[in-house]
Amino acid sequence: MIEVNPEPTPLSGSATISIRESASQALPGLLERLPALLK
């Protein structure tokens, strides 16, 4: 699970990747790198 949220949440400990940015900031870069993350 990838969590995208500026603040930790109760699910943060279960996330494989936690990105501490807003979705509007994080998603463009995440989508660009997603193929490499899935390998």
End-to-end distance of the chain based on CA atoms, in angstroms? 15
Q: How far apart are CA 35 and CA 9, in angstroms?
A: 26
Please give the residue range of the domain that contains residue 7.
2-37
Domain count, the chain: 1
Give me the pLDDT at residue 39, please: 81
Task: State the 10-residue block means of pLDDT for the chain, 39 residues long.
Answer: 96 95 94 87
Give me the pLDDT at residue 37, please: 79
Q: Which residue has the tokens 């995208």?
A: 4
The dihedrals phi and psi of 7, each to the nearest 5 degrees, come to -120, 150
Give me the pLDDT at residue 34, please: 86
DSSP string, the chain: -EEE-SS--TTGGG-SEEE-S-HHHHHHHHHHHHHHHT-
Give me the pLDDT at residue 32, please: 93
Give me the pLDDT at residue 24, please: 96
